[in-house]
Amino acid sequence: MNLINMYTVGIDIGSLATKIVLLSEGKIIAMIQNRSLHNFSAIGTQLFNQILEENNLTNGDIGNIYSTGYGRHSIPNLTSNIVTEISAHARGAQYFHPKVQSIIDIGGQDSKVIKINPKSLKVIDFQMNDKCAAGTGRFLEVMANALDIPIEDLGNLALESNSPVQISSTCTVFAESEVIGQFAQGAAKHDIAAGIHNSIAKRIASMAKRIQGVEPIVFCGGVALNPAVKIALENELKLKLIVPKYPQYTGAIGAALIAKEKFKNGSKIL
């Protein structure tokens, strides 16, 4: 392997989607993602082989691989190097915005708020919601199904509302029943959709306030692609959020960067 063109890989196996990033000397060469489905190991291996093939590489060209995410332990055939989601997202957010001080990451099954020391650039505090699907991508999927609309349309639908309904339940199951009840009582879909997004914003904002998150704040994770969540969060926090170019890949990028930093003298550091 030519160390001048050393490649590293970050694999973020989330509960809903698996993302892989290929770096060369810290620069993004390729990215790929797909649904995680039920077999984390199979989808992780499949995407890894695919990204190598599409870039005319072999396993021998890869200097180091780190995995993160919900299923980070599921690919021992590829790597035993793992990094927590907190560290991976912090490093990935810094790739886009080196001066970031707070990070909001909303994934498929959990949400996180991370605080960075502006001098040391290290994580100094975080809050994580990993016990309930409320405030996550899965929550939005369930609500979209309840409204019988595609998940990708939910955010834009919410932006049409001028009178959001109140969604009081913090539990996904109860919130789904509440949404169905609101619709049965004649509430418009766009007003219900807006209420759903406001509900998520309140939950995440309370986490951010507990660790005293401050600007610059990077908003990442697949849910950051939803414009209504960003606006609802900004309204709740009274702060502006920065959405990086590839918010869904932040964890994988961070893992790949950590893989590069751990690579010394052509050896894989376990």
Domains and CATH numbers, the chain: 3-88+250-261 (3.30.420.40), 99-243 (3.30.420.40)
**Residue in this structure with the two tokens 């050393």, named with its chain if needed:** 6
Distance CA 145, CA 270 (A): 43
pLDDT category of residue 135 using cuts at 50, 70 and 90: confident
Q: Residue 2 pLDDT > 70, yes or no?
A: no
Q: For 90-129, how does the pLDDT look when each residue is reduced to its tens digit (9 = 90+)? A: 999 999 999 999 999 998 888 999 999 988 989 999 999 8
Per-residue model confidence (pLDDT) at position 265: 43
Q: State pLDDT tens for residues 18-60.
A: 999 999 988 999 999 999 988 999 999 999 999 999 999 999 9
**Which of left, alpha, beta for 157 (phi over 0: left; psi -120 to 50: alpha)?**
alpha
Residue 203 CA to residue 50 CA, distance in Å, equals 38
pLDDT for position 233: 97
Q: How far is CA 238 from CA 142, 202, 208, 232, 250, in A?
A: 28, 12, 12, 10, 24
